[in-house]
A and B are shown apart, each in its own frame.
Chain A
């Protein structure tokens, strides 16, 4: 009974938030996630802060294991049971970290939509896709089964699935990978959320399909004014779609700022290495520059800068045992380094 009133309150609060871009849709402040494992605590995320506004795209970049996905799962209450989460996460007017599980659940899907990495496994194999697309709308908006079906067709059409009316009752295995990811995107948009979280949504797809999905999300964002958090290890994607970017390494943000500033004047050695490792179409045929070494284990982080063991620069002796501070280097552009001014 009580959740019906909750739901309608939630619905009313949406339009007032949607068009104002000065207040962040989601802000994360000093988020820390520690996961208890058999071999001791894993420091997956350590003191991460960022925010994203309506209509804006925020990119979270890093290698696998850098903590980018965990940041988002923890922020939205999807972290594993073994994880301890501290810090503040604010979605619209709600302080997520202070909410009980059930209240947080009602915000998920309603105000935040998720697109996960692998469309082959993120859909339930035994439910028709249409049903999966509008489940959230049935739950949060109280849509009837019939209304939900119409809405499912509408959404599948929106994400560019041909003959949506016919395919609404098909099962996931009857779609190609790219089409499945479109289904997942339709599913994420079912309640017209204020925020879309896309966790490496193109990694499992072939190059042509990747481009189509990127374009689709960008297009939908323009039409719906949704804020987007895009998690990726592919800087090429970031340049095309993001407004702001944060680079994560070893559970921390090492560089953050407007996408142009970070790309034009990359300051952290890791960001530079990532940019250098990017496949460049103009240098087709040449070898890719890989970063030597492997990312640190969250079970055993170095005492200083996490990148120090692989760092080609090492311009300050303190890097080895002391954590460099986040230092502003430009308008909204910050870098975790001891030597922000000097760009070797």
Chain B
């Protein structure tokens, strides 16, 4: 187990190194001088020189990368071209908003997908199964921001139950946070739920045809015991991975949803940085998200190894 964990940690570290290289190179892709582009009409020679020096742009590329990497390791992701504030602080400030939205959306998705996926598989061919299949096809085809707009139209416009957009921190006012998070979380959650429903359904279906399920039936166990102890225990192990990948990609900020609902998370920050050509902030946001993504995947692989006894011996 320890060796497995160590190997996975090393693998993730290598990939993370690659991620920093990609993020670093992003700035080099900007046609022309990124600082000049960023400053645009606000150009003044003093700020220009200061920002260039701070970003180390006058050095040769490998030196620039080494210094970028060195700074990143100490948590220094540069300063915003716009405000001059440290990027790491700007990015971390936005994390709670994204976190609360992502977790709410995944919880909602699980509440929908588990019962729906399991019942669809166990009662394969039934009305529930058909409904589940229509739902999952709908979910993977519908643009989430369109569903968000339809949600605003219905719940904010027609019914007037929920605010159309905006953010209140959970720690400030849980009640108002809940009314504000409801629409974006359900919008994102429905798409996630449709992906999970499809996966859970096929995973449960596959286990249902396994020999050991027939063995359990042959023992004369009650249907409920067969499903819970034999089918679900096996079918839900791979589901853990998919849930985690979904959560990880939501932590990356659902850019369009955060923009649509004026939700001040990482996604909204990315959008604003793109608009303002604030490249260091864009780099910082992308780096943080990719690192979170890798971390969640690493944790899930370790959790997976704990859940499946077959992996621990390797």
Contacts and interface: CB of A to CB of B under 8 A. Distances in A.
Interface of A: 76, 78, 105-110, 112, 114, 116, 118, 121-127, 135-136, 139-140, 171, 173-174, 184, 187, 190
A55 to B, nearest CB: 22
Contact of B229 (A110, A121, A127): A127
Interface in B195-230: 210-212, 214-223, 225, 229-230
Q: How large is the interface on B (under 10, 10 to 19, 20 to 34, 35 or more residues)?
A: 20 to 34
A107 B220 contact: yes
A140 B176 CA distance: 53
B230 A124 contact: yes
A124 B220 contact: no
A122 B209 CA distance: 11
Q: Name the 4 nearest CB pairs between A and B, nearest first.
A: A109-B220, A108-B220, A109-B219, A114-B218
B239 to A, nearest CB: 13
Nearest to A108: B220
B221 A139 contact: yes
A125 B218 contact: no
Given A118-B211, A125-B234, A139-B225, A187 B219 contact: yes
B222 to A, nearest CB: 7
Given A123-B215, A124-B234, A184-B215, A139 B309 contact: no
Contacts, number: 82
A108 B310 CA distance: 30
A173 B237 CA distance: 17
B164 to A, nearest CB: 47
5 contacts: A78-B214, A114-B218, A114-B219, A122-B214, A135-B216
A304 to B, nearest CB: 34
A75 B196 CA distance: 38
A122 B229 contact: no
A110 B220 contact: yes
A255 to B, nearest CB: 28
A105 B211 CA distance: 18
A124 B218 contact: no
B10 interface: no
A184 B307 CA distance: 23
Contact of A173 (B225, B233, B310): B310
A121 B210 contact: yes
Nearest to B237: A126
A173 B210 CA distance: 16
B308 interface: yes
B210 to A, nearest CB: 7
Contacts of B212: 121-125
B220 A139 contact: yes
A135 B230 CA distance: 11
Given A125-B234, A126-B309, A139 B210 contact: no
B219 A136 contact: yes
A123 B217 CA distance: 12
Residue among B210, B215, B221, B229 with the most chain A CB within 10 A?
A: B215
A174 B313 contact: yes
Contacts of A136: 219-221
B237 A109 contact: no
B220 A173 contact: no
Contacts of B210: 121
B218 A109 contact: yes
B211 A135 contact: no
Contacts of A109: 218-221
Residue among A107, A121, A122, A190 with the most chain B CB within 10 A?
A: A122
B227 to A, nearest CB: 13
B218 A76 contact: yes
Contact of A122 (B215, B223, B307): B215
A173 B313 contact: yes
A202 to B, nearest CB: 16
B215 A105 contact: no
A78 B221 CA distance: 12
Contacts of A110: 220
Contact of B220 (A105, A116, A118, A126): A105
A116 B307 CA distance: 26
B222 A126 contact: no
A136 B230 CA distance: 13
A140 B220 contact: yes
Nearest to B223: A105
B52 to A, nearest CB: 58
B205 to A, nearest CB: 13
Contacts of A122: 211-212, 214-215
A1 to B, nearest CB: 14
